[in-house]
Amino acid sequence: MDKLTHKFKLAKKNHNHNHEHDHAPINLTDATVFSETYCIEFEKPVTKPTVEKMVTRLIQAIGRPLAHNEIIVGHIKVLAKLDEEFMFVSLTRMDRVDIKLSDKWTTDTVAKFSRVKLDINVLVFGYSKKVIAELVNHSLVNFRKDSQCEA
């Protein structure tokens, strides 16, 4: 049986930073797993609804260049923690972001938080770990900028 291969390209319009990517044909039977934890300090404290919007934009920003025909060949998960509360965000299709909130999340929507802990997990086929890390880091730069605008 022949192995399925496909050449993916990252669209320049969605990818504004300067560096080269290896776009050699990639074997779609090989999954790449990226898993990192980030602690983001906000310049100005933000509310939970603001964090929800920011994390939703973050996961979409990570997913957009990895999507093929609006589908993630794999999945992207982000666990955002504010003290003891959390939101779990999942993306497999660009048109649908799934969000699960902890029970306490919705009880106080006016409290402000100065930091968020993000566990970012990406499992995709057809991309190197280096490309995924660069996409995540670029998306986190924008996440930090968002936090300054949203506060």
Is the model more confident about 7 or about 107?
A: 107
Pair 138, 63: CB distance under 8 Å: no
Question: pLDDT per residue over 136-147, tens digit each?
Answer: 999 999 898 877
User: In the predicted model, is pLDDT for residue 149 greater than 80?
Assistant: no
Cα separation, 92 vs 74, in Å, equals: 7
- Per-residue pLDDT band for 43 (boundaries 50, 70, 90) equals confident
- Write down the pLDDT at residue 18: 39
User: In the predicted model, is pLDDT for residue 62 greater than 60?
Assistant: yes
Residues in the chain: 151
DSSP E strands: which ranges in 3-131?
5-6, 26-27, 31-47, 67-68, 71-82, 85-93, 96-101, 112-125
Q: What does pTM read for this prediction?
A: 0.79
- Domain residue ranges in the chain: 29-150
CATH code given to domain 29-150: 3.30.1220
